[in-house]
Amino acid sequence: MRMHETFIKPMHREGIKFVAIFAAVTLVLFLVSDLLGWIGVGLTVWCYYFFRDPERVTPARPGLVVSPADGIVSLIEPATPPAELGMPDVPLTRISVFMSVFNCHVNRAPVAGEVTAVAYRPGKFFNASLDKASADNERNGLCIRVADGRDLAVVQIAGLVARRIVCFVSPGEALQTGERFGLIRFGSRLDVYLPEGVVPLVSIGQTMVAGETVLAELNAPTSE
């Protein structure tokens, strides 16, 4: 890998217009004050960095569940998947990954399978690190059916700063593990609802890398 590739990452197309806006405002700020202009340069660089879309190397072993987002595991607890996904009304293990405004916000499929449902629900904008964000905040959920017929849910949740959830897939589409399926602009959270009995392999406070860090293994012995 070349040295510049370590620091300069490709940008997702969703970020082009935002970087252009930041750059235009920066030019205006330079007309007012050099100090303000350089602050604008810093914010423009941050905006570019926010929309970075680096390549990831996804583990190849079948049955692995990988993190859908960069960030920190903020919660691991039993919870019922969002009703709009049409999944059984039973508690499943939910792993929440909180993304700060400094994390990469491109979201990746935690497992390979068919998207059987995509459901958007408007809501509030509480801090995404809070437990109530899963129930009250704006969200977009996917139900993914894996090869053995089990369902896994992944839910994009808007946060205190986020105001736009973007999803690239529709029901009936097939996803590969680690494939990009959406993003959330400016701070948010991803919830993964594991199939019944699947045990998480991560801990609260652990740092996640989207498409790479293993959350669980579907083929491992399930809990009683």
Query: What are the catalytic residues?
Result: 188
Long-range contacts of 74-81 (CB under 8 A, 24+ apart): 74/98, 74/129, 74/189, 74/204, 75/131, 75/204, 76/200, 76/202, 76/203, 76/204, 77/131, 79/134, 79/191, 79/193, 81/141, 81/143, 81/153, 81/155, 81/193
Q: Could you tell me if 160 and 173 are in contact, meaning their C-beta atoms sit under 8 angstroms apart?
A: no
